[in-house]
Structure 1
C-alpha cells in the first residue's frame, strides 16, 4: 500500500460549539508534527459564512472548504495514496468519504464517534453540519452537501457511539446500521462502573478488547478498502479532554489504537479523518497532542507494514 498523504483542514464552521475556533488552534498544534513532504494544507475560509437560506449554519464557507478539499484530493488519488484529513470538525470528513466511495470497489467504513452524526437539516437543533455528516454521506439531507457518490449504509459500522438523538435511533434501525459498543473503557471509567457493581478486572478488559477487535474485523471482512472516521470524542474524557462534546464511558486510547491497527492490518486503508481536536489552551494542546499522534501512527501502521514486507521481499 502506498504511503498516506495528510491533509490539514482546519475547518471549524461545521461545529455547533461557541468555542469552534479551538479547532483551528488544534490544527496549528498538529502542523509541526506532520511530515512536510506528505502534507497538503486545505484553504478554509476565515469568515463564518452564512446559511444561504437553508437550515445548515455557515453553509457558504463549508462549501468553499469542501471544494478546496476535493481539488486537493484529486492528485493524491491519482497517485494511489490514501488521504488522511486532520484538524477540522466532523464535516471535514465528507470529502474523504466521497473519494473513498468513488475509488474503492467494496468499501467498508468504520465510524469511531460518540455521536452518530445522522441529524437531518430540517430537525437539527443546532443547524451544525458536523451533526449531519453521516446523513449527507448517505445521500440524505441538504442538497448542497449530499455526497457524490453516496455511501451504502451496508458498508458502515459505528464504533463507540453512545449519545443518540431519538430520530437517529429510528434512522439507524431504518438503515440497518450496526453499532459496536465501547466495550473497553478507560481505567477511570471502569472504576466508576465498578462502583455501580458492574466493573471488570484486567482479564475482563483484555477479553473485551479481543471481542471489540473481533466484532470490527467481522464487519470489514471481504472489503477491498477501508475508510476510518475518528471523532476524538469517541475516547473516554478521563483520558482525553480536548473535545467540545465529551461523553462518558468511551474507548480507552489503547482500545482505540489497537482496534485501528487490527483493522488496517486486515484491510488496506482507503482514507481516514481525525476530527474535533479542540484543546482549550496551549498546555492542554501539549498534553493531548501525543494521543492524536498515536492515532495517526495506528492509521499508518498498515502502510509501514506493507513497505517493510516489500523491502524484505526485494532483498
Structure 2
C-alpha cells in the first residue's frame, strides 16, 4: 500500500502584512502539485481548503493585529491536521501565513508529545507584542511556540509551551534581520539556529549543514515537522515570498538542495509551506518552480520511508 500524503489548504492572510497568500493553495494545485506527488509514488488525498481569511489591518489592536482571527485559524488547522494524523497520513499544509504552523504543531504534539520542529525560514519570528513595531503575528511564531507573546496564542494547544527550545532547530534565517530583543530571547531559550551566512560561508557544504540540522532532531524526537517559508530564498533569485528579502537568504539552488535533504528522513511528520504570494508571479513560473522543489523533496521523503532511513 502506498504511503499517503494529505493536502490541506489554509488560505489565510490573518497574520500577515498584506493580501495574496490566500491564493496560494489554489495556485499550487493549479500548478500540478497533487498530480506530481502521485507520480512520485504517494497516495494523495486532498482535504480541500479551510475558509478563506482575507487580509485586513486591525487599528484597534496595533501590537497583535487580528489576534482573534489568527487564533480561529490556528484552532481550525489543529482540528483538520489532527484528523489527518489520526488517519495515518502525512500532512502537507499549504499556507497562508506562518501562524498556520502553530496549529500544525498543536495537532502533532497532542498526539506525539516528542515531536520536533525544523524551522526553515528567512526570519526567526521571535518578536512579541511588547517589542514589535508592525504587530504582525507571523513575525512571532517561534515566540508563541516557546510560550511567550499573546496568551491566546501560546496557550492554543495541549500544553504551554507548545515546544521546548530543545525540540526546535532553526535553519536559514538572515541574522541581519534580528533585533536586540530577538537576540536576547534566542540566547535565553538556548535556541539552536543555523543562519544563512553559516550555511553559505566559504568552504561550507549546505547539504551537510541541512543533514546535521535534521539529525539534531531525529536523534531525540519521535518525528519532526518541517516549516518551509519561501522567504528563506533570496528574493532576487525567487521573488515569490509575501515579504521579500532582497540580497539576503539562500540562493535558489541551495535552498532546493537543503529542502530535499531536510525532507530525507523516514521520521518526517509533516510539511508546512508558507508565505507564497501568487500575486508576485503573474505568469506562474515561480509557483511551478516551487512545485518542482516540493515534489522533489517529498519524493526523497518517500524514498527514506521505503528504506527506513
| TM bracket (short chain) | 0.7 to 0.9
State the Cα RMSD in Å: 2.7
Partner of 1:107: 115
Answer yes or no: is 1:39 the counterpart of 2:43: no
Pair 267,152 (structure 1): closer, same or farther in 2 beyond 3 Å: farther
Tell whether the 8 Å contact from 1:49 to 1:59 is kept in structure 2 after alignment: no
Pair 209,67 (structure 1): closer, same or farther in 2 beyond 3 Å: closer
Partner of 1:154: 166
Q: Distance in 2 between matches of 1:265 and 1:23?
A: 27
Shift of the alpha carbon at 1:220?
Answer: 2.3
Shift of the alpha carbon at 1:47?
Answer: 7.0
More moved, 295-304 vs 171-180: 295-304
Shift of the alpha carbon at 1:168?
Answer: 0.4
More moved, 40-49 vs 157-166: 40-49
Pair 46,115 (structure 1): closer, same or farther in 2 beyond 3 Å: closer
Partner of 1:251: 250
More moved, 5-14 vs 41-50: 41-50
**TM-score normalised by L of structure 1:** 0.81
Map Cα deviations across residues 38-72 of structure 1 (whole Å, 9 max, x no partner): 22211133474858768411123222222322222
Partner of 2:153: 145
Pair 290,34 (structure 1): closer, same or farther in 2 beyond 3 Å: closer
Answer yes or no: is 1:136 the counterpart of 2:137: no
Partner of 1:261: 260
Partner of 2:39: none
Tell whether the 8 Å contact from 1:104 to 1:270 is kept in structure 2 after alignment: no
Answer yes or no: is 1:81 the counterpart of 2:95: no
Larger radius of gyration: 1
Tell whether the 8 Å contact from 1:5 to 1:83 is kept in structure 2 after alignment: yes
Partner of 2:9: 8
**Equivalent position SS for 1:238:** coil
Shift of the alpha carbon at 1:252?
Answer: 2.5
Tell whether the 8 Å contact from 2:22 to 2:53 is kept in structure 1 after alignment: no
More moved, 29-38 vs 80-89: 29-38
Select the residue among 296, 299, 302 that pairs with 1:304. 302
Shift of the alpha carbon at 1:131?
Answer: 0.6
Answer yes or no: is 1:27 the counterpart of 2:28: no
Map Cα deviations across residues 287-313 of structure 1 (whole Å, 9 max, x no partner): 211232133224422552256559xxx
Unaligned runs of 5+ in 1: 186-198, 311-315
Shift of the alpha carbon at 1:218?
Answer: 4.0
Select the residue among 203, 216, 219 that pairs with 1:219. 216
Pair 105,45 (structure 1): closer, same or farther in 2 beyond 3 Å: closer
Tell whether the 8 Å contact from 2:27 to 2:278 is kept in structure 1 after alignment: no
Answer yes or no: is 1:70 the counterpart of 2:78: yes
Pair 235,21 (structure 1): closer, same or farther in 2 beyond 3 Å: same
- How many residues get paired? 288
Partner of 2:188: 174
**TM-score normalised by L of structure 2:** 0.82
Map Cα deviations across residues 257-307 of structure 1 (whole Å, 9 max, x no partner): 3223323333511122111111335525x1211232133224422552256
Map Cα deviations across residues 4-33 of structure 1 (whole Å, 9 max, x no partner): 211111111211x2xx21112333311323
Q: Distance in 1 between matches of 2:182 and 2:208?
A: 26
